[in-house]
Amino acid sequence: MCTISKTFILNLIYMSTARNFRILVTLSFFLLTTVLIQAQTDKKAAELKKLETSLATAKAKVALNERQLTVSDSLITLGTQQIAESKTETKAIDAELKKLDKDNVTRQKSLTKLSASKDKDESSKARADLKALDVQYKSDSKALSNRLKDATKKLSKGNAYLTKGKANKKNAQDALKVSRNALKAAQAKYDAASASGENTSIKDKKKK
């Protein structure tokens, strides 16, 4: 009787130990699986975050190249405008200078003739008018000369702006083409990683 009881008790102990061992193994398996899943999730989240940063950088580069292109177009517009204004101003100055010379010659002839008059008052006044005419002519000529210099400077600046704008535009267009391709690739990588992710919060974030 005692032998049976001992055997029964031993069996119970063995069964209890075996059951506890199975429970322990099962718990350990679930714990390990949870840790692995969490680690994988964290890894995917980190990868997605890295792709988000790359995407943001690519977008910023495209925006920068687009601004450079806009600035280049502005330089081209400004240069073209200044060249046109310079040409218009130069043409007007040439016309005014010709008129000034013509009027001066005509006035000189008239006053020179009067200066030879036998009437002393008339000849004296004509000589004084000739001197005044010469002073006025020189003053007007200097003013037109200064305007011509300004128009020439404007033409030089306009050509410089135009040349710089065209060169910068070419560089900006080339850079924009590269940055847009880079953005397209970065967007594709981000979309692929986001679509294949199992983290619900990441998916919700993408939807937003």
CA–CA gap between residue 48 and residue 147 (Å, rounded):
64
Lowest-confidence region among 29-33, 40-44, 98-102, 129-133: 29-33
pLDDT of residue 7: 65
Report residue 192 CA to chain centroid gap: 30
pLDDT of residue 116: 87
pLDDT of residue 163: 97
Closest CA to 88 of 160, 146, 161, 150: 150
pLDDT of residue 206: 46
pLDDT of residue 44: 77
Report which residue type is found at 137: Y
Across the range 101-111, mean pLDDT stands at 94
pLDDT of residue 192: 86
Q: What is the pLDDT of residues 33-89, one digit of tens each?
A: 554 455 555 567 778 888 889 999 999 999 999 999 999 999 999 999 999 999 999
Say which residues have a Cβ less than 8 Å from residue 110's Cβ, sequence separation at least 6.
none
Whether residue 123 contacts residue 117, with contact meaning beta carbons closer than 8 Å, is answered with yes
> What is the CB neighbour count within 10 angstroms for residue 86?
20
